[in-house]
Amino acid sequence: MVIKLIVMIVVYAVILGYDIPKLKEKEGKTIGVYTGLMFVALYQSLIFVFDLDWPFLHTAVDALFREPARHIVEFLEAPPS
């Protein structure tokens, strides 16, 4: 776990060290999208490093689209011939 944490810190330091000077030239929407994506990546990284039993992104997508997808599949199913 310690090695994973060290690697994660180094990787994020390199990413931010490269991206922050470029982001200073960008407008607010770009910075907002970048920040959101970095939070998602950091969340996923923390789950990996600390072996946490937190929901992944696919869990949220599954909860959001399960019922509509089930309705579509039921609508498209053909009766057996």
pLDDT in tens, 36-54: 999 999 999 999 999 998 8
* DSSP string across 10-66: HHHHHHHHHHHHHHTTS-HHHHHHHHHHHHHHHHHHHHHHHT-----HHHHHHHHHH
* pLDDT category of residue 19 using cuts at 50, 70 and 90: very high
Q: Are 6 and 45 in contact (CB under 8 A)?
A: no
Position 78, amino acid: A
List the one residue out of 24, 64, 19 whose CA is nearest residue 38.
19
Share above pLDDT 70 across residues of the chain, in percent, rounded to a whole number? 100
Judge whether residue 81 has pLDDT over 80.
no
Where is pLDDT greater, at 58 or 30? Answer: 30
- Asked if residue 32 has pLDDT above 90, the reply is yes
* 60 against 35, higher pLDDT: 35
The torsion defined by the Cα of 4, 6, 9 and 12, in degrees rounded to 10, comes to: -60
Which whole number is the average pLDDT over 57-69? 90
Length of the chain: 81
